[in-house]
Amino acid sequence: MNNSKVFGGVLSRIRKEQGFSTAHKFFKSIGGSKSLGLAFMSYWDMERGKKLPKSWRLKAIMAALGIAQYSPKARELVRAYFRALSGSEELIPFLLPPVSADPDLPSRELAEAATHKALAQLTVNLTVEQWKARTGDMVTHICQSYLVNTAGWVTVRELAEATKFKPEAVKKAFKALAAGGLVELSKDKARSLFTGKLIQLLPTTPATAAIRATIRNNWDTWLKESERVAMKRLTVRMTKANLDLYRQHLEKAVDLSGLYTNTEESRQDSAIYLVDASIFKVIPRG
C-alpha cells in the first residue's frame, strides 16, 4: 500500500471515530463545498488515497471533523500526511518531543489513553441542520441542553418549572427539536435521542459561523441570570509555544468533565452546569 493510501486510511478511520459513518454524511453535515471549498469527489479521493490535500485544507478538514489541534488524532493524521509527502518516516522523530525520564510516564500515558477512549465512545456529531434546529432561539437551546443531560421523559411542566419559561414556549421548543431529529415526543413530554452522549462541538468553518454566533448569543443571554459556582482567574505572560502547550492541558481538563456526567442522577439532587474555559489575550491590543 502506498503512503497516500495509508494517509487516506487514517483519515477514513478517524472520520468514523468522530461519529460520521460515511464520507458523504460527513461532507453533507458540515455544509459541503461551502465549508471545505472543494467538491465531494475531491474529498472522497483523499480518503481513497488518490490525492493529498494542501496543508491548509488538511487543517480545515481536521477542524470540520472536530479534532482538537494537539490531540492524539491530530498528531496521527499529520504524521500520516508527512509520511505521504516524504515517502518515509525518517525525519518525523525530529518533530516529536524527547521522551521524559519520569518513571511513571507509561502508566500516566495508559490512563490518559483510556480516558480519551472512554470519551470517544460517548461522542456523537450532529448535522448542520440539527444544530440549526437546537439553537434557533434561546428557549429551544436551553430546553435541548436540559433534555440531553436528563435521562427519561421530561414533561412540559417540569421543564417550565426548571427554566421559568412559559409552558407554551417549552411546547414550541419540543416541536422544533422533534422536527430536527433531536428528541421524540409523547403527548406533553419529550426525551432526547442523545442522552448520555457528548455532543461534539460545531466545526469552525465559514458555513457554521452564523450558527456559532447564535450559540454564543444564547449562552451569553442565559448566563446573565445564572449562578456562578466556581471561578479561577490569573494573568500571566507566556510565549506562543507555552500558550499552545497550556491549551492542550486546559482542553483535556475540560474534556474530563464529561466523565463526571450522570443523566440518571436524581433531578432534585443534581444540577446542570456549563463548563467554560476561556483564555483572553489582553495586552498588547491587536
Q: How far apart are CA 134 and CA 199, in angstroms?
A: 12
Q: Name the grid cell of 212.
A: 456559532
Distance of alpha carbon 8 from alpha carbon 45, whole angstroms: 8
Residue 84 and residue 101: Cα distance in Å, rounded?
31
* Three cell numbers, residue 236: 500571566
Element (H, E) at 154: strand 154-155
Q: What is the dihedral angle through the alpha carbons of 72, 250, 228, 266, rounded to the nearest 10 degrees?
A: 40
Residues 202-250 have pLDDT tens digits of 877 777 889 999 999 999 999 998 998 988 888 999 998 888 888 888 8
Reduced to 3 DSSP states, what percent helix, strand and coil does the chain have, rounded to the nearest 5?
55, 5, 40
Q: Which three cell numbers stand for residue 220?
A: 451569553
Contact 110, 254 (CB under 8 A): no
pLDDT tens-digit map of 19-55: 888 999 889 888 888 888 889 999 999 999 898 988 8
- Amino acid at site 253: A
The 8-class DSSP code of residue 172 comes to H
State how far Cα 23 lies from the chain centre: 18
What is the pLDDT averaged over residues 87-116? 56
What is the helix (H) or strand (E) element at residue 124, kind and residue range?
strand 123-124
What's the mean pLDDT when you consider all of the chain?
A: 83
At residue 101, the pLDDT reads: 45
Question: Does the pLDDT at position 189 exceed 90?
Answer: yes
Query: Does the reported pTM lie above 0.75?
Result: no
Among 54, 44, 55, 56, smallest CA distance to 11 is for 44
Q: 48 CB contacts (<8 Å, ≥6 apart)?
A: 5, 8
Fold of the domain built from segment(s) 3-96: 434 Repressor (Amino-terminal Domain) (1.10.260)
Give the closest residue to 132 by CA, choosing from 148, 150, 147, 144: 144
Contact residues for 226 (Cβ-Cβ < 8 A; gap 6+) = 274
Which of residues 241 and 2 earns the better pLDDT score? Answer: 241
CA distances from 58 to 67, 170, 266 (A): 11, 41, 44
In the predicted structure, residue 285 carries a pLDDT above the cut 50: yes
Per-residue cell: 280: 483572553
Q: Are strands 154-155 and 189-192 parallel, antiparallel or unpaired?
A: antiparallel
**pLDDT for residue 103:** 47
Where in the chain do CATH 1.10.260.40 domains reside? 3-96
109: pLDDT strictly greater than 60? no
- What's the rounded Cα separation, in Å, for the pair 31 and 129? 9
| Half-sphere exposure of residue 221: CA atoms within 13 angstroms, side-chain side | 12
